[in-house]
Structure 1
Amino acid sequence: MRLFSRRFGLVAALAAGIAAPALAQAPASAPVRGGALTIGVESDFEGFDPIRAGVYSNSTVTAASLIYDTLMRLDDKGNLIPALALSMTPNEDGSVWVAKLRPGVKFHDGTPFTAQSVADHFNRLLDPANRFAGRAYIAIEKVEVGDDLTAVFKMRGPNAALPRTLAQPTVVTLIISVKQANEKGADYNRNPVGTGPFVFKEWRAADRLVAERNPDYWDKDKPYLDRVTVRPLPDSDARYASLVKGDVQVVWEDRAENIVKAKKDKNLVVLQWVGSGALVIPLNTQREPLNDKRVRQAVSMSLNRKANAAVLSQNLRPVYDDPYAPSSGIVCKDTGTLGYNPEAAKKLIADYGKPVKLTMTVTATPRGREGAQVFQADMKKVGIDVEIKPVDQTQLVKEALSRDFQVTGWRIIDLADVDPQMFANFHSKSPINFSGYNNAEVDRLLLIGRTSLDENKRKEAYCDLIKILNDDAVWLWSGSNIDFAITRKNVHGIPALRGGAVQVEGAWLSK
């Protein structure tokens, strides 16, 4: 099936970078129909109306992927495959993309899925009146209707990466029923309707979300499961214990001790995905004392990132000097990293001439607390006092997006192309630039990365960009983006954990 014009096939392949190894589940035998699956995730859900939720954590993407679909998908090797769209074709310069939609698809309420549905979804997110922060992630100007099964994406400039960007499930790309959102108003956020493999049944806050098999799903062979429950279990040790006991059959996991234990347990299977992006520590450049570059550089040089990552992750997560990671295909010979240099940091603090006190906001989880304690200890060595502020994940996101923080924990999620995240996080006009960073040269380089059809120019721009970001010490790269899930050994068919999401439209249980 023709997904791209010949001219853009190479461009899209290059934009994807080198596919990282994915330890997804190999089928044990023919899939078995029936059964119920329970997934344990890290946090409760922000909600399922992207306007009201603002962002989707990987926990929310896991749940939302039950109910919603994307236009395209990526297989475990990074190849584009059709989903709601059968193909996406660009014009000569990539400023317009035409999506041909799959016929016969229906929303869970029986409404036909058409090009108008696509236009309504994306145009709602792009409408400035809705103040949706996530619109910075995709460079779409508007979506128009060609005919019932033809959606036309008008871009803000040339864009080679759109189909790959739309293939990853995110707060932007998972298509909702705007008709239902308009009819239900605020209630839609807790009662979503989509075209996905499962139909939403209930959501008990901080307890569980339940979805049941969609008998009219467009992929007639799927899903295999009758029922899926997603349970927020913020304590990773309790989450792991529930898996071992059999109360849940799949968990998202990032606690190194549990991953190491699981690899030794014959009843469990560890899934791993090495993606682009990074675990990061954003610094708010608009808040004192971090509005002073000397203080930010001192913080950067005080943090023993590689030693800390080795301890916290038991060497499961290497640390790089940029947020791209090898899977992006962007390899910079010179990143301009400041390196670990506590003596130089002390001199910068002395030059600043005032006591430095910081508050670090983290998730109230073992992972969040442990990372904050390591940060606190490193800062103490150079005379920086750090108070740790643990909050639930929903609150952390809210405070970050409103710039109500000094230091926080975050993640640049794994995407098939680095443009959406880099542009959203660091362009001065982006509503998701929650560090308040403003640098004209960075803006210029980000535009090259977004619009150039020359892959070498894009890579050069991103390497020049990282030297500036590292010198300005805006965000600190604290770990690589490697996602893990652990399953009971009778669980099969879970694909690569892109973006940390556990997707189960093709999952099944052996007897």
Structure 2
Amino acid sequence: MFLRRHALVAVSAVAMLASSACGGGHSVGAIAAAAPSGDPVAGGTGRIVEMAEPRSLDPALISNSWANSPLLGNALYGTLMIDNIETGAIEYKMAENFFSTDGGKTFTLVLRDGLRFSDGSPLTAHSVKTAWEHVKDPATASPDIPQARLIDSSDVVDERTLRVNLVTPVPNFANAILQTSLNWIASPTTLAADQAHKDSDPVGAGPYTLEHWSRQDVISLTRNANYYDAPRPYLDRLEIRAIPDAEQRYNTVLSGGADFALEGIWQNLDKATNTGLQSSVAPLGGGTSLVLNNTKAPFDDPRARKALATALNLDMLNTAVYEGTGKIPAHLFDESSPFYKDIPLAQPNHDAAQRLLDELASEGAPLEFTLSLYPTGKSLGAAVQTQMSVFDNVKVEVRTIDLAQVGQNLGKKDYDVISSTVVFSDPEPRLWFGFHSTSSGNYSGIKDPQLDDALDRGRVAGNDAERTAAYEAVQKRLVELNPVIFYSRAAPGVIAGTQVGGIVQYGMGSVLPETLWIQK
């Protein structure tokens, strides 16, 4: 369950020039500081920084990914299971087992004996059923409703056992749980309460309980005496603050104003390494991409998609957007993944791109498109425009959209090109959600029978060989179709002072609070 530690060291100048496969330009000789050695030390207060403040303490509304408030969710509600972020192996926490005997159509969840919520009431199979139905309820408006909708129904067998019936076989459904708020079980009493009660007195079975939440300031937590995994948690208290501003977040840790921060900005991770802080990044596949709207002109034409994919130099984008610190996705899967194949994503080829642009123009359809970006995306927009300005028969406009518009824009596909992400540790279920023609999360709108078939085979495959073959086909088809252009790996990272031990990530860069400790 231990986090892979990336040293964030420099790549050579020769490798940087050779191809966009090099994955980023970190400072020469820089090595991340080591964590403290020895046994965990009990006691003390952990001062934690997350990237976003939750809109509610309802677990269904706290996203379980690095860019949101995952440590808070883990602290209040605990975890049913986690994965080894390097191998993908499942490790059970509050769950004792989760298995299927029919190829993933039904699962049996077995809970540990004696689990109790922080108020002393028992955590049972009925508690899990209630929590999952809460996520699935459209009225809850959980961001994890796509994963919850994979569940058709569930039946309580006994106090510790829940039988789960899926809509379609998903042998790796455990990933849909541990990567989302399905991993967090609140008391049925809490879930039945109004929003104000959920936010002021949430009851979970995690390592900590809420002491006080001062909005836009601090969330104070104290040890849960009923937590199942004694002697954890090691820290007596947590003080969690949200700092969305990247520079302020980094400086807070550097100056000693916080012990630990979740981080998602490559520049901050690079700076942390160079200043003697701990810094680590979870190795996820996919990344941040330019999503090409395949449902209308001009990108319903595969030649237009290929032209843009081969026209852009990702090294130059990395320099403009991330000051050269980003990791460029040369392949769909990270090299640490068992599904990695040497199937390169689109490579820059000026002549090939110009030929395609000329061909489109000769047919009366020169490539013209608008790039829709958030206010923080100005450097990306300018970089794309600059690169495309050296080509004939292409015109690029940039439109700034508010963050509040994003859901509407994506849902209605009101864009030619927009920036979005498809990131995953295990490919299931997020790769299917990102590219299957029937998925509401398929923002490119790609509709390809061969791709659908490969994604379906990967979802229901009964063994590793079948999964590997299916995802090799997915990789090949995505390279052929270019529905999106991945320009940066996501940066699901952490930075911490050298006194912080026990840093463990799982899933989508989520962090376990119960293992953290501070050397005195």
* Aligned positions of 1:496-507 closer than 5 A: 496=505, 498-507=507-516
Matched positions, count: 487
**CA gap 1:254/1:385 in 2 versus in 1, 3 angstroms:** same
1:312/1:371 contact within 8 Å kept = yes
Does the CA contact (< 8 Å) of 1:51 and 1:125 recur in 2?
Answer: yes
* Mapped contact 1:71–1:83 kept (Cα < 8 A): yes
Q: In the aligned structure 2, how far is the partner of 1:348 from the partner of 1:314?
A: 35
Matched, 1:360 2:372: yes
Residue 261 of structure 2 corresponds to residue 251 of structure 1: yes
Show the counterpart of 2:11. Answer: none
Q: Deviations over 1:346-366 (max 9, x none)?
A: 32552462562413223x55x
Counterpart secondary structure, 2:429: helix
Structure 2: how far apart are the matches of 1:401 and 1:77?
A: 33
Kindly tell me: are residues 465 and 81 of structure 1, through their superposed partners in 2, closer, same or farther at Cα, counting changes over 3 Å? Answer: closer
- Which position in structure 1 is the counterpart of 2:18? none
Cα distance in 2 for partners of 1:244, 1:287 equals 48
Corresponding residue of 1:387: 398
Is 1:22 aligned with 2:31? no
CA–CA distance in 2 between the matches of 1:224 and 1:308?
43
What are the within-5 Å matches in structure 2 for residues 389-408 of structure 1?
389=400, 391-392=402-403, 396=406, 399-401=409-411, 403-408=413-418
* 1:223 shift after superposition: 1.3
Partner of 1:10: none
Report SS of the residue matched to 2:75: helix
1:451 aligned onto 2:460: yes
- Give CA deviations for 1:200-237 in whole Å, capped at 9, x if unaligned: 34444444433322222111211122322332222211
- Measured at CA, do residues 20 and 247 of structure 1 come closer, stay the same or move farther in structure 2, by a change above 3 Å? closer
Supply the AA of the counterpart residue of 2:158.
D
Question: Structure 1 residues 184, 486: CA separation in 2 closer, same or farther (over 3 Å shift)?
Answer: same
Q: Amino acid of the residue matched to residue 52 of structure 2?
A: S
SS at match of 1:325: coil
Any idea what the Cα deviations from partners look like across 1:63-97, whole Å, max 9, x if unmatched?
22222223212346544322111122321534332
Matches within 5 A, 1:341-352: 341=350, 342-344=353-355, 346-347=357-358, 350=361, 351=363
Q: Which amino acid aligns with 1:228?
A: L
Distance 2:186 2:282 in 1: 27
Query: Is residue 2:493 matched to residue 1:484?
Result: yes
The match for 1:260 is 270
Instruction: Give 2:280's aligned residue.
Output: 271
Equivalent in the alignment of 2:156? 145
User: Is 1:64 matched with 2:73?
Assistant: yes
Query: What is the alpha-carbon distance in structure 1 between the residues aligned to residue 311 and residue 196 of structure 2?
Result: 45
Give the match for residue 420 of structure 1.
Answer: 429
- State which drifts further: 428-437 or 220-229: 428-437
Distance in 2 between residues matched to 1:232 and 1:143, nearest whole Å: 36
Distance change in 2, residues 1:48/1:437 (3 Å): farther
Shift of 1:114: 0.5
Q: Residues 11-51 of structure 1: CA distance to partner in whole angstroms, max 9, x if unpaired? A: xxxxx9xx994359755223222222222233333544465
Whole-angstrom distance in 2 between the partners of 1:20 and 1:340:
37
The correspondence of residues 284-295 of structure 1 with structure 2, limited to 5 A, is 284-286=293-295, 289-295=298-304
- Alpha carbons 1:295, 1:352 under 8 Å: kept: no
CA contact (8 A) 2:320 2:380 kept: no
Cα distance in 2 for partners of 1:300, 1:311 equals 17
Confirm whether residue 125 of structure 1 aligns to residue 135 of structure 2: yes
Q: Distance in 1 between matches of 2:381 and 2:211?
A: 38
**TM-fit CA distance, 1:313:** 4.8
Q: How far has the Cα of 1:461 moved from its partner?
A: 2.1
CA 1:50–1:291: 2 relative to 1, 3 Å:
farther
Q: Distance in 2 between matches of 1:50 and 1:262?
A: 31
Counterpart of 1:107 in structure 2 is 117
2: distance between equivalents of 1:270 and 1:53?
A: 24
Q: Mark the CA change 1:151 to 1:26 in structure 2 (over 3 Å): closer, same or farther.
A: farther
Q: Conserved in 2, the CA contact under 8 Å of 1:208 and 1:229? A: yes
- What are the residue-to-residue correspondences of 1:84-483 with 2, within 5 Å? 84-127=94-137, 134-137=144-147, 139-166=150-177, 168-185=178-195, 188=198, 192-266=202-276, 268-286=277-295, 289-309=298-318, 312-313=321-322, 317-334=326-343, 337=346, 339-341=348-350, 342-344=353-355, 346-347=357-358, 350=361, 351=363, 353=365, 356-362=368-374, 364-365=375-376, 368-382=377-391, 383-389=394-400, 391-392=402-403, 396=406, 399-401=409-411, 403-415=413-425, 417-483=426-492
Contact 1:328 1:418 in 2 (8 A): no
Distance in structure 1 (CA, Å) of the matches to 2:451 and 2:151: 21
Query: How big is each residue's C-alpha offset from its partner over 1:170-200, in whole Å with a ceiling of 9 and x where there is no partner?
Result: 2333333443222225764786442211223
TM-score, normalised with respect to structure 1: 0.83
Q: Percent identity?
A: 23
Q: For 2:285 and 2:461, how far apart are their aligned partners in 1?
A: 20
Letter paired with 1:373: A
1:385 and 1:307, CA in 2 relative to 1: closer, same or farther beyond 3 A?
A: closer
Q: CA deviation at 1:335?
A: 5.6
Q: Which moved more, 1:177-186 or 1:97-106?
A: 177-186
CA drift of 1:273 comes to 2.7
Unaligned 5+ residue runs, structure 2?
A: 7-31
CA distance in 2, matches of 1:401, 1:108: 39
Give the structure-2-normalised TM-score: 0.81
Is 1:283–1:290's contact at 8 Å kept on the other side of the alignment?
A: yes
The residue that corresponds to 1:11 in the other structure is none
Question: Given that residues 120 and 226 in structure 2 are in contact (C-alpha distance below 8 angstroms), is that contact kept between their aligned partners in structure 1?
Answer: no
Change (3 A) 1:132 1:509: closer
Distance in 1 (CA, whole Å) between partners of 2:405 and 2:209 is: 28
RMSD (Å), alpha carbons: 3.4
In 2, the alpha carbon distance for the partners of 1:384 and 1:71 equals: 51
Q: Give, as a single letter, the amino acid of the residue that structure 1 aligns with 2:372.
A: M
Given that 1:20 and 1:275 are in contact with CA atoms closer than 8 Å, whether structure 2 keeps it comes out as no
The question of whether the paired residues in 1 share the 8 Å contact of 2:45 and 2:238 is answered with: yes
**Against the structure 1 CA distance between its residues 57 and 481, is the aligned structure 2 distance closer, same or farther, given a 3 Å change threshold?**
closer
Give secondary structure in 1 for the equivalent of 2:505.
coil
Distance in 2, matches of 1:343 and 1:307, equals: 18
User: Relative to 1, partners in 2 of residues 1:247 and 1:395: Cα closer, same or farther, differing over 3 Å?
Assistant: farther
- Give the Cα–Cα distance (whole angstroms) in 2 for the partners of residues 273 and 336 of structure 1: 21
1:437-482 residue CA offsets vs partner (Å, 9 max, x unmatched): 3333322222111111132232222222233333332221112345
* Alignment partner, residue 37 of structure 1: 46
Q: Which amino acid aligns with 2:396?
A: D
- What SS is found at the alignment partner of 2:193? helix
Q: In structure 1, the residue corresponding to 2:290 is in which secondary structure?
A: strand
SS at match of 1:216: coil
**Is the 2:290–2:487 Cα contact (8 Å) retained in structure 1?**
yes
- Whether the 8 Å contact between 2:111 and 2:124 is mirrored in structure 1 is yes
- Contact in 2 for aligned 1:262/1:486 (Cα 8 Å): yes
Amino acid at match of 1:119: K
State the one-letter code of the partner of 1:507: L
Paired AA for residue 423 in structure 1: W
Q: CA deviation at 1:244?
A: 1.6
